[in-house]
Amino acid sequence: MLENNDKSSTPLEKIGEFGLIKQLTKDFKIFHKNTIKGVGDDAAVLDKTNKNTVITTDLLIEGIHFDLGYMPLKHLGYKAVIVNLSDVYAMNATAKQITVSIAVSNRFPLEAIEELYSGIKLACDTYQIDLIGGDTTSSTKGLLISITAIGQANKEDIVYRSGAKANDLLVVTGDLAAAYLGLQVLEREKQVFQVNPNSQPDLTKYNYLIERQLKPEARKDVIRIFKNLKVKPTSMIDISDGLSSEILHLCEESQVGCNLFEEKIPLDPQVIATCEELNLESTTIALSSGEDYELLFTIDQKDFDKIKGNPNFTVIGHMTDKNEGAHLITRANQKIAIIAQGWRSF
C-alpha cells in the first residue's frame, strides 16, 4: 500500500524540500493569537504571554513504535500529535503549538506524506493546535516522526509529578489496557492476512480496542474539567508506558509510597472479554501495557467530593509514607510490590 508504484504518485525528489514543506503545510490554520510566525523562517515566533510555557518532545520510529502494516498513515499522523499533547495536558497546561519533523525514505511518494499530514492536520484542528515549524529530510530507512509540543499554563496551575503527599487519593481517567489489546488483535490479523490475503475478518467485537490503538485521544477535556471543578491535582503523569511504571514515577518524584487496589482498576468490557479470549490476566495487562494516554493523578482527600461520581474519574488507590513502598492490593487482599513492567524502548 505504501510502495511508490501508483501511477498517480509523485516522487519526493521531484518536489524538493522547500516545495514539500509548502505543499504539506499550506492548509494548516493558525488558532492562537500568540503564534506570530509559523512555518517559513529560520525559527517560529511566539508572542510574549503572562503564562508559563511547557515543552515536550517525542520520537516515533517505524519498526520500533509503529508498523505501517496495520497503522494507516493518516492515523499515524494523528497519533504522533496526540502522544505529545498528552504530555502537555499531564502538566495541567493547554497545548497550543507543535513542530513536526519527518524523515522519509524514497519509497514514500508525496501522496503518502500528504496522507500522514492529513492526520496531523486533523489532530491540529480537533485540539486547536498551530503547526509552527519542523524539518523534512530523507532517511536511509523507513519513516520517522519527531514532534515537539508547546503549551501554556498559569504558573500556579502547573502540576508536576512531584507533589503527591501521603493519604492523597490516586485517580485515573477513562479505562486502561484497551490500546495494548487492540495492538494484539491487529498483530494477529496481520498474521492471518499474511497466510490468507483474502480473509475478511470481523473485528466488530474489538472495535473499541482497535480504535484505542489506532486513534487514541489525549485528555484535553480533563484539564477543562479540573478547571470547572476547581480541582488542582497534587501530582500528575500521563499513562504512556503502563500503570505500574507511571505509579512508580509519581512515588519516586513525590517521595511517597502507594496502595493500588486491583478491584478498582477501570477496564472496558471488551478488555475483559478479550483478555479471557487470549488467556491473558487483565490486571497484569493494565499494569504493564502502554499507550493508553489517560491521566494518572493524585488529589488531596478534601477534593474527593468534587470528583465523586464523575464518570471520567476512578479512584484506584491512595498514597502512603515512602517507607511503606508501592503495592498492589489484590482482590484476595494480598499485598504485592509494584515493579516497573512498562514498555521499554531498549
Residue number with CB closer to its own copies (97 or 283): 97
- If 0-12 CB within 10 Å is exposed, 13-18 middle and 19+ buried, where does residue 201 land? exposed
CB of 10 to its own copies, least distance (A): 11
Residue number with CB closer to its own copies (43 or 332): 43
One-character DSSP codes across 131-178: EEEEEEEE-SSSEEEEEEEEEEE-GGG---TT---TTPEEEEES--SH
Q: Are 182 and 213 a contacting pair, CB within 8 Å? A: yes
Residue number with CB closer to its own copies (50 or 228): 50
CB of 161 to its own copies, least distance (A): 5
| Closest among 85, 99, 122, 84 to 37, alpha carbons compared | 99
Q: How far apart are CA 303 and CA 233, in angstroms?
A: 9
Residue number with CB closer to its own copies (14 or 224): 14
Residue number with CB closer to its own copies (49 or 207): 49
Residue number with CB closer to its own copies (162 or 330): 162
Neighbours of 118 (CB within 10 A): 15
CB of 42 to its own copies, least distance (A): 4
Residue number with CB closer to its own copies (99 or 244): 99
Q: How far apart are CA 96 and CA 192, in angstroms?
A: 42
Neighbours of 248 (CB within 10 A): 19
CB of 83 to its own copies, least distance (A): 10
CB of 7 to its own copies, least distance (A): 20
Neighbours of 328 (CB within 10 A): 22
CB of 178 to its own copies, least distance (A): 21
Helix (H, G, I), strand (E, B) or coil at 329: strand
CB of 233 to its own copies, least distance (A): 12
Q: Are 154 and 52 a contacting pair, CB within 8 Å? A: yes
Residue number with CB closer to its own copies (35 or 259): 35
Give, in order, the Cα–Cα distances in Å from 76 to each of 33, 66, 286, 303.
28, 8, 23, 38
CB of 77 to its own copies, least distance (A): 17
As a dihedral over the C-alpha atoms of residue 261, residue 267, residue 271, residue 272, rounded to 10 degrees, the angle is 60
